[in-house]
């Protein structure tokens, strides 16, 4: 059996949107030709594409592998941190190492992408820092960021994580969740106080998110860092799914919150351009 053969790996999009299926299952003859590495990648691809945790039986059918082979490889991938076991549904999901690898890849590729050029254009037009982030549990992960060309600025790298409950992107993406999910998120996340303006009361945070849900503009009025204001707008796929958010942040000494809100039309235009770079109806990334 050859140790390595070429196998088709479908790339998942940066917004985490997944296809309705779990990938094309290799035919038995194809599965037999895959070496150990090819089988491992096949398993990772299928699990990363699935909308919910996968049982071993589902994985065996999707990958065209025997149960002992699938069990042996998934056990190794779990031990390495590339896969994890979801305790409630007793299925397999992405592990922390696979997620970290995906984020690192996105962060490294961002400066070369069309998306980075769009953020750079916003930063140059507003004169302030512009970033793009996604919601991950109780945090926002910056997938890309363009710093303002000012001595006074915030130094966060792509891949940085910030709390969701007190940042513009985080509050925006929480607000756009379906109401039951939003309520569950508020209850489960740590509402840490970072400044005197941080919303640490669940009821007050819920009220703030309701307002943001209506306006679709996220606001951080010195809630995460004293003296820093931030506004954000959502980025949607063509199908209407929320991908993430664009934000512009600035020191309040240089830009007031009201002045920052004047950037919103520019940000909306950038959000439309970013949307075009994400998954189309075929599930392929356009960038």
Report the C-alpha gap between 152 and 218 in whole angstroms.
23
Return the SS3 of 65. coil
Residue 156: its pLDDT value, please?
62
**pLDDT at res. 177:** 94
Domains along the sequence of the chain with CATH:
1-95 (1.10.10.10), 106-275 (3.30.450.40)
Mean pLDDT of 70-91: 84
Question: Tell me, what's the pLDDT at 111?
Answer: 54
pLDDT of amino acid 154: 58
Distance CA 146, CA 157 (A): 9
Buried b (16+ CB within 10 A) or exposed e, 181-205: ebeebbeebebeebeeebbeeeeeb
Q: Residue 28 — pLDDT band, cuts 50, 70, 90?
A: very low
Q: How many percent of the chain have pLDDT more than 70?
A: 78
Phi and psi torsions of 125, nearest 5°: -75, -40
Whether residue 19 is predicted with pLDDT greater than 80 in this model: the reply is no
* Statement: residue 215 has pLDDT above 90: yes
**pLDDT value of residue 272:** 93
pLDDT band with cut points at 50, 70 and 90 for residue 155 = low
Do 172 and 245 contact (CB within 8 A), yes or no? yes
Nearest Cα residue to 143 out of 158, 155, 161: 158
Which has the higher per-residue pLDDT, 95 or 220? 220
Mean pLDDT, residues 210-215: 96
pLDDT at 81: 86
Say which residues have a Cβ less than 8 Å from residue 86's Cβ, sequence separation at least 6: 53, 92, 93
Q: How far apart are CA 18 and CA 154, in angstroms?
A: 33
- Has residue 281 got a pLDDT over 80? no
pLDDT at 85: 85
Q: Is the pLDDT of residue 1 over 60?
A: no
Residue 9 above 60 pLDDT?
no
Rounded CA gap, 255 and 134, in Å?
A: 25
Out of 46-55, 96-105, 244-253, 274-283, pick the least confident. 274-283
The more confidently predicted of residues 8 and 77 is 77
Looking at residue 16, its pLDDT comes to: 36
Q: Using 50, 70 and 90 to split pLDDT, how confident is the model at 129? A: very high
Return all residues near 38 (Cβ < 8 A) that are at least 6 apart: 4, 5, 7
Q: Distance of CA 5 to CAs 45, 69, 87, Å? A: 16, 17, 34
| Block residue for tokens 């299952």 | 25
pTM of the model: 0.64
Q: Is the pLDDT of residue 101 over 50?
A: yes
**Comparing 22 with 238, which gets the higher pLDDT?**
238
173 forms bridges with which residues in the sheet? none
Question: Alpha-carbon distance 94 to 157, whole Å?
Answer: 24
More confident residue, 192 or 286: 192
In this predicted model, which residue has the larger pLDDT, 37 or 191? 191
């Amino acid at each position: 059996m050859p140790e390595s053969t070429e196998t088709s790996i479908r790339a998942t999009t940066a917004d985490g949107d997944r296809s309705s299926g779990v990938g094309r299952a290799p035919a038995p003859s194809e599965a037999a030709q895959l070496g150990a590495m090819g089988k491992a990648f096949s398993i990772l691809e299928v699990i990363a594409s699935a909308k919910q945790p996968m049982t071993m039986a589902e994985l065996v059918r999707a990958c065209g592998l025997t149960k002992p082979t699938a069990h042996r490889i998934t056990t190794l991938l779990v031990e390495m941190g590339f896969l994890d076991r979801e305790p409630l549904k007793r299925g397999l999901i992405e592990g922390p190492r696979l997620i970290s690898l995906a984020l690192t890849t996105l962060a490294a590729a961002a400066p070369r992408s069309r998306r980075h050029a769009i953020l750079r254009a916003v930063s140059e037009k507003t004169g302030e820092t512009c970033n793009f982030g996604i919601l991950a549990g109780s945090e926002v992960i910056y997938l890309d960021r363009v710093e303002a060309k000012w001595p006074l600025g915030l130094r966060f790298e792509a891949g940085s994580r910030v709390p969701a409950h007190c940042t513009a992107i985080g509050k925006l993406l929480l607000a756009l969740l379906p109401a039951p999910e939003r309520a569950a998120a508020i209850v489960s996340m740590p509402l840490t106080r970072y400044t005197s303006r941080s919303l640490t009361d669940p009821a007050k945070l819920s009220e703030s998110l309701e307002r943001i849900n209506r306006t679709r503009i996220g606001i951080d009025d010195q809630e995460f860092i004293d003296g820093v204001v931030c506004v954000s707008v959502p980025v949607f796929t063509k199908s209407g799914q929320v991908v993430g958010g664009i934000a512009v942040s600035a020191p309040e000494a240089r830009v007031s919150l009201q002045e920052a809100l004047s950037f919103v039309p520019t940000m909306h235009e950038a959000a439309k351009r970013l949307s075009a770079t994400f998954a189309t109806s075929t599930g392929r990334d356009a960038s």
